[in-house]
Structure 1
Amino acid sequence: MASSVGVDDYALTRVPASARYSWWSVAVQRFGQVSALSQFLLGATLGFGMSFWSAFLALTLGAVILEVVAIFVGVIGVREGLSTSMLARWTGFGRAGSALIGLVIGISLIGWFGIQSAVSAQGLVALVGGLPEWAWALVFGLIVTAIVLRGFHSMAWTAYVTVPAFLILVGWSITSELARHDVGELVSSAPAGPQLTLLQGTTLVAGGFIVGAVITPDMTRFNRSVGDVVKQTLVGITVGEYVIGLAGVLLAHAVRTADITAIVTSSVGWVGILVIIAGTVKINDWNLYSSGLGVVNFAGTVFGKRLHRGVVTGVIGVLGSVLAAAGILDAFTEFLIVLGVAFPPIAGIMVAEYFIVRRWRGELEAAKAAGAVPASAPNWVPATLLIWLVAALVGRYVEAGLPSINSLVVAFVLYVVAGKLGLVRGVGSGRTEQAQQSAPVTR
């Protein structure tokens, strides 16, 4: 019965070579994540509070942070063929720690799912009407849920349609609005809203996609090589940040508002509905997809019950749609700032363990040769949890430097030091039930 709800998509097992995709297929989805309506909204937020060149620098620094994180954790994903929350079991966190990561990712991405649905609902009310905002949020959320139920294959085809449509429509929007202004004056004009500092702007950029960067293995486990991961990351993040982000900055200077709906409607009118839909579907399906993977891992670890990804996706899709209807968008900026310091330590620890400390690397490689996952994993790694907490607090409260970089570097360095001192030790050991299953999960 569960299989009729959707596909499991290797939620708790390795993705076999036969199920991998070309780099272009995955790259379109990565680009779709970054060049989404949320990036437009982020650019508008920067443009409302920063000059053009200050926003450009913030986007540059933020993009570098995201690319470094995404490439390193993405390489782990393509090599091991496992989701982020599953990999965490053998990259420093243990079973309980990975369950906690799965829960944190699940909750955060339900929030992102709600934010994206709310953005779409606002635009649909302004451009179409007919239904109240909360109803549009529910409708949009349920449509995206239906796409994600069918897994990676369905999401790839969605990207082939929505990404080109969004880029064409955004190009039209930019051209229509900027034709009314002197671009040179917009570049040199002062922002219309309260000023944002470079630190605040960079943190917003990094925080705006840091969850997407940390959960990169959810996507790159479907890649075929390390080179594919590097190519799609550089192309997707760089082009997405600059093209869509800077467009949002210029339009915010032109329209003198950070309201994305006002920007869209002022430039292309009713066609803006297509911009909103195309620009939100592609990132929102990945929010829901990775949230489902995280919750499946959490349930399997904590309750010892293997839930079907399709069933979990359906449940959290409805929950996220309800959150959108409840107005989660109001907390958008603060939400980004918090994420900007809470998630980088996860990537810092995973990279430090996999590439340098290598406490459990041998177990992963041995199991990989058999196409399985290690038969067991440590229950807890106390040093890791302490490092995660310390790094997140440093990122949140230390004012010097960039918060996202601070938290990531502190986590990386502390874990390497702890590993060299022999402090990275697992407490207890839990059996990995799916290691006994030699047959791949039906897609």
Structure 2
Amino acid sequence: MKAVKEHQSWFSLGIIWAGAVISIPSLLVGNALVAGMGLSTALLVTLAGYAIIVLLMILQGIQSTDLGKPTVQVAAQVFGKTGSRTILSIILAIACLGWFGIQANVCGAALADLLAKTGVNMPVPLASLICGFVMVISAVYGVKVLRVISYIAVPLLVGISIFGLIEALTGDSLQIIQHHKPEGAMSFTDGLAITLGSFALGAVIAGDYSQFSRKRSDVLKAALIGIVPAGLLMIGAGAVLTIAYQASDITATFLSITTPFVGGVVLILATWKTNLVNAISGGFAFINVFNVSKEKEKWAVGIAGTIGTVLAVVGILNYFTPIMSILSAMIPPVAGVMIASYWVLGRGDKSRWHEVEGVNILGVVSWLLGAVIASTPVVLSLFPSLPQVPNQPLIGIVISFVVYYAGYRLSAQKTVILEES
């Protein structure tokens, strides 16, 4: 007998997506935004960024709902079966290793600050190294601990964020928030790039979770209700708390809420929870990219976590803004190609969808052009002596969409001419 897939409700899907947004990275985005723009502008950027993210999630998620397949299989039409597995796995690996390093760095800073309160001085790189290896070992040998830590960490993170917001908005800090002036001068598009980069991967691979939904409207409701409120809450909290507690980073902010011990423990648990997922997902990505056997799964997870730990030790957190901008440039063009194929050329009809063996050169080139062009302003910004180009975070998805659509039409027209002749 053929196995019947178990369907999920829109509410359960929304909870999964909301849980992904309720994390330290969202708070870091809020922290980064208010360093370069006013609070009202930061909130407007957040709203605009998550509106785009939700739109991408809906379009990407519905494809998987229609076909009952995860993202990597759905993308096998535009990139080919081999191309899809390779491209998505490389992107996933880069994103997971980067996020692992950033969060291990946050965890290390929290641990170092906590120890400093007790009179023990530990350098942040060493603390990050210790935190990273504990996370790696947990991911390799204690995957079941993820569920337990999630049940503890998520409510604590939400609770301390809301508590801090209430304290900030009802106490003396309210005046500080009202008269906040940013230290830098971040443009709206740069802020949009940071916001998009924080959840671009989640939007593109939304189908991994929506493939079990019953109907298209479930994806729509889950994305709107699960992502927007949670995103605004966490990024808004990161922004407001940074201003209210006049802290230089999110670690210092959390140590100022309630007590340093409580704030530090919440940060450590929250980063630990998310990094278990990053190490495991990064390991799976390595398996797909290098065609490693499933028997070596633990080794792949361990290697992914170790690379992330090295990034934490060298201080990857200091490059948070350019990393988010790079992710917002590389990842959305994947959706641009898939949307052009399924929704425009295929008119959203699942009967028009089919897998392509090997590598679909048109899809790969379309994605690569969009990713490279969108990444150029970010790369140039790292070298101030070179000519600078304004950051346009949506240019990549537009270019990949147009190139794939035009290329498909031209190839189809060429095929017709050849057949007629």
1:419 equivalent among 392, 402, 408: 408
User: How far off is 1:93 after superposition?
Assistant: 4.2
Secondary structure of the structure 1 residue equivalent to 2:64:
helix
For 1:306 and 1:29, the matched residues in 2 are separated by 26
- The reply to whether residue 291 of structure 1 matches residue 285 of structure 2 is no
Aligned pairs for 1:349-364 (under 5 A) are 349-358=337-346, 362=351
Matching residue of 1:194: 184
CA distances 1:123-169 after superposition (whole Å, capped 9, x unpaired)? 1221246774121232134335556x45xxx7666544432221112
Q: Is the 8 A contact 1:52 1:188 kept in 2?
A: no
Q: What letter is aligned with 1:418? A: G
Q: Counterparts of 1:277-426 in structure 2 under 5 Å?
A: 277-300=268-291, 312-358=300-346, 362=351, 377-397=356-376, 403-422=392-411
- Asked if the contact 1:116/1:284 (under 8 Å) is kept, the reply is yes
Amino acid at match of 1:35: I
Alpha carbons 1:63, 1:237 under 8 Å: kept: yes
Instruction: Identify the match of residue 17 of structure 2 among 30, 33, 41.
Output: 30
Q: Which residue of 2 aligns with 1:73?
A: 60
Give the alignment's Cα RMSD to 1 decimal. 3.3
Matching of residue 247 in structure 1 with residue 237 in structure 2: yes
Residue 138 of structure 1, aligned match among 128, 133, 137: 133
Question: Gapped runs of 5+ residues in structure 1?
Answer: 1-14, 366-373, 426-443
The CA distance in 1 between the partners of 2:29 and 2:408, in whole Å, is 38
Q: Partner residue of 1:226?
A: 216
Which of 71, 90, 96 is the aligned partner of 1:109? 96
Q: CA deviation at 1:243?
A: 0.8
State the Cα distance separating 1:204 from its structure 2 match. 0.8
| More divergent stretch after superposition (198-207 vs 390-399) | 390-399
1:361-390 C-alpha deviation (Å, 9 max, x unpaired): 65867xxxxxxxx6xx42222222222222
2-side partners of 1:72 and 1:16: how far apart? 27
Q: Is the 8 A contact 1:26 1:222 kept in 2?
A: no
Q: Deviations over 1:245-278 (max 9, x none)?
A: 1111112222333411111112222110232134
Distance of 1:236 and 1:188 partners within structure 2: 32
CA distance in 2, matches of 1:57, 1:391: 26
Asked if the contact 1:114–1:321 (Cα under 8 Å) also holds between the matched residues in 2, the reply is yes
Looking at structure 2, the residues matched to 289 and 144 of structure 1 have their Cα atoms a distance apart, in angstroms, of: 6
Q: CA deviation at 1:349?
A: 0.7
Name the CA distance, whole Å, in 2 between partners of 1:76 and 1:410. 21
Shift of 1:61: 1.4
Change (3 A) 1:208 1:145: farther
1:211 maps to 2:201: yes
Give the whole-Å Cα distance in 1 for the aligned partners of 2:346 and 2:5.
28
Question: Which is worse superposed, 162-171 or 56-65?
Answer: 162-171
CA deviation profile, 1:22-60 (whole Å, cap 9, x unmatched):
444443332122121111111011112211111111111
C-alpha distance after superposition, 1:365-424 (max 9, x if no partner): 7xxxxxxxx6xx422222222222222233234799872322112212222222222269
Distance apart, 1:20 and its partner CA: 4.8
Rounded Cα–Cα distance in structure 1 between residues aligned with 2:305 and 2:95? 13
Partner in structure 1 of residue 382 of structure 2: none
Contact 1:62 1:202 in 2 (8 A): yes
- Tell me if 1:46 matches 2:40: no
Query: For residues 306 and 350 of structure 1, do their structure 2 counterparts lie closer, same or farther at Cα, with a shift above 3 Å needed?
Result: farther
Matched-pair identity in %: 25
Give the CA deviation at 1:121: 1.9
Q: 1:126 aligns with which of 91, 95, 113?
A: 113
Task: State the one-letter code of the partner of 1:320.
Answer: G
Shift of 1:348: 0.9
Paired residues of 2:201 and 2:331 also in contact (CA < 8 A): yes
TM-score (norm 2): 0.81
| Number of the residue aligned with 1:369 | none
* Residue correspondences, number: 393
2:20 match: secondary structure: helix
TM-score of the superposed pair, with normalisation by structure 1: 0.78
- In the other structure, the counterpart of 1:173 is 164
Task: Please report how far the alpha carbon of residue 333 of structure 1 lies from its aligned counterpart in structure 2 after TM superposition.
Answer: 1.5
Alpha-carbon distance in structure 2 between the residues aligned to 1:306 and 1:280: 27
Where 2:76 maps in the other structure, the secondary structure is helix
Q: 1:335 to 1:329 in 2, by over 3 A?
A: same
Runs of at least 5 residues in structure 2 that lack an aligned partner in the other structure: 378-387, 415-421
**2:79 aligned partner:** 92
Q: In 2, Cα distance between the equivalents of 1:16 and 1:183?
A: 57
Q: Residue 91 of structure 1: SS of its match in structure 2? A: coil
> How many angstroms apart in 2 are the aligned matches of 1:75 and 1:401?
33
For residue 90 of structure 1, give the secondary structure of its aligned residue in structure 2. coil
One-letter identity of the residue aligned with 1:211: L
